[in-house]
Amino acid sequence: MQSQKFSNSTPIKQTNMQKTESFTEDFDTSMSWDSAGSGYASVDFTELPFEPDSTCSSLESSSIEIIESEIISSDDDEIMEESFADLMEELLQLCVDDTPWNHFSKMHHIGQGSSGTVFLSESPNGEKVAIKVINIKKLKNKQLLLNEICAMQNIIHPNLLPLKEAFFYEDAVDSELKVAIVTPYAELGNLIRFCKKTRHNEKLTALILRQVLKGLSELHRNSIAHRDIKSDNVFLKRDGTVFLSDLGFCDVTDEEGKCAGNSVIGTPYWMAPEVIKFGASSINSDIWSVGILALELFDGEPPLMSKLGSIEAAKLIAGYTGTVAPAGPMELPERFSPLFRHFLNNCFALNPMCRASCEQLLNHPFLTPCEDVTFSDILS
């Protein structure tokens, strides 16, 4: 098993997507790219929940399920042991071989992420940090852990949550092997809290999206798809800095911006149709999730969440047809300004190749007025 090293010097290569680099003023007719519990938990399906030719109406609720690991034969045991040894070797190269609690004091539990438990901690000099502790034994895809650490170590951007340190150790309490990822502490927490407490107008929505897209653009430039963009994974500091975080599901993309394999990874309400139906993750499926995040910021929750459970929502999303997603993602579109509506349309093109790129969205007139605006300017 080899971990993928990422570097700012290796930007994503040009794809076959044919998209213009600017937006016209005729927002409704310039769609030249279009072709004919809480529900917040991320999932990683090891098999597709739908057959590619299935229709939404023919599926039962039991069609979507997380498939448990297959039965492993004695021959497979040897392969698994060899792979696990490779993983240990990789982690020893990437991480400090020590427990984080020799370097930081644990204060209290502050969250449960898709791949680990998060603690608020403090360094000897009084700096507060967040430490995500991951139990290696419980990971279904251990390569994703290597991807996450490599990406955080090698891709640095003001809007990507930075890695302070990573530790690999055997827990003294339960004797389990664990990895601890140390990052700065974002005082205002993630956007879920922010969405519930603060009324979002389009200006505030645009301000947050601009920073999210800047961080995501840097991932895409380095041939990385995030694959789990949602409010849980966007954090705010008191100074207004927005961090895109949790690269636990990120993966390397090919020259066309596509991830290998056909795993259905992400969180149902934010997933693009092609991810749910075909397991086809890409940098373009990230753009769909950005559109859902935009609606979540504006409305306080993602589309469909208050009406459908995650399985029912996934069925509906997988059944979308046409060129741009119907009323589900953009219910009552007339309540949006023409600029915001046009921005969303370019996130929700059903053909993934027809969606805007991060750079194109950053140049969209819905976001450009926010270039020199701060949170205090909008909230004052």
Q: Mind telling me the catalytic residues?
A: 228
Q: What is the rounded radius of gyration, in angstroms, for the C-alpha atoms of the chain?
A: 21
Helix (H), strand (E), coil (C) string for 143-164: HHHHHHHHHHHHCCCCCECCCC
Q: Tell me, what amino acid is at 362?
A: L
**Is 277 annotated among the ligand-binding residues?**
no
**What CA–CA distance (Å, rounded) separates 168 from 180?**
7
Closest among 91, 84, 177, 100 to 136, alpha carbons compared: 177
Q: Tell me, what amino acid is at 220?
A: H
- Asked if 155 contacts 6 with a C-beta cutoff of 8 angstroms, the reply is yes
Helix (H), strand (E), coil (C) string for 121-134: EECCCCCEEEEEEE
Tokens coding 92: 């020893």
**DSSP H or E run through 265:** strand 264-266
Query: Would you list the DSSP string of 192-204?
Result: HHHHHHS---HHH
Helix (H), strand (E), coil (C) string for 30-48: CCCCCCCCCCCCCEEECCC
CA-based torsion, 346, 347, 351, 355: positive or negative: positive
* Backbone φ, ψ for residue 218 (5° rounding): -65, -40
Q: In the beta sheet, which residues pair with residue 167?
A: 96, 180
Tokens coding 77: 């045991």
**What CA–CA distance (Å, rounded) separates 102 from 277?**
46
**What CA–CA distance (Å, rounded) separates 95 from 87?**
12
Give the number of other CB atoms < 10 A from CB of residue 307: 11
Q: What is the DSSP letter of 3?
A: P
Binding-site residue positions for ATP: 132
